[in-house]
Structure 1
Amino acid sequence: MEDFEIKNNDFLRQFEATIHDDLITLEYSEQERKIFLSKFKISDHLKEQGYQEKFFTKIFDYLEEKGKIKIVPTSKEVKKFFRANKFKYSDLLPVGMSI
């Protein structure tokens, strides 16, 4: 699996990465120290190669390092990733929210 970098595209309000000339994106919106992770796009062949998990891990790690922001997963893919990794990233969830 090829390593890649995540870019935070402030203008389009999305995290993105280019792998093998394919663009993976995760749109977001920010409100009151919360980031709502919404529309996710990935090609089928990158998903089959496991890039979805690595993409989300890089985003969650980036947001964790940034600090003082909570994640509100609104896309089904992000919710599924969060459930699978809830112990690692539980401090990123707003108080009182469960997934």
Structure 2
Amino acid sequence: MNAPLHRQVILIAGAGLGSGPATARQLAAQGHHLVLGGRGAQRLQALVSEIRQAGGSAEWFALDIRQPAQMREFLAFAEDVHKRIDVVIHNA
């Protein structure tokens, strides 16, 4: 059985740049649990802090999407934290 839409665990690769931050803010405001990945640790930390201060749920993971092993670690991290993954957005 799938999780209700408003409670999905969503991973966003490339979350720190481009449309990633706006997408993360919008999804967090809708009640989703986010796992944000990207190369800019400071940007991701700031975005997670902003989301949490607004009452949302988010974690971040340092990630270079060009490295398949890091992508596998990103997925494993999300599964460890939330016990499932409902949606993956490849924003990079």
TM-score range, shorter chain: 0.3 to 0.5
**TM norm structure 2:** 0.38
Greater per-residue helix proportion: 2
Larger radius of gyration: 1
Greater per-residue strand proportion: 1
* Bigger relative CO (Cα 8 Å, ≥ 6 apart): 2
